Amino acid sequence: GGEVERILRMVDGVLLVV
């Protein structure tokens, strides 16, 4: 519940795009 989660969500979105 912090920056790490935000980063993971961002990475997850990028992976979904790819």
pLDDT tens string 1-18: 899 999 999 999 888 877
Alpha-carbon distances of 15 from 1, 18, rounded to whole Å = 21, 5
The stretches of 1-18 forming alpha helices (DSSP H) are 3-17
Q: What is the pLDDT of residue 12?
A: 92
Q: What is the pLDDT of residue 6?
A: 94
pTM score: 0.15
Rg (CA), the chain: 8
Q: What is the pLDDT of residue 3?
A: 96
Q: What is the pLDDT of residue 18?
A: 72
Give residue for tokens 């795009």.
17
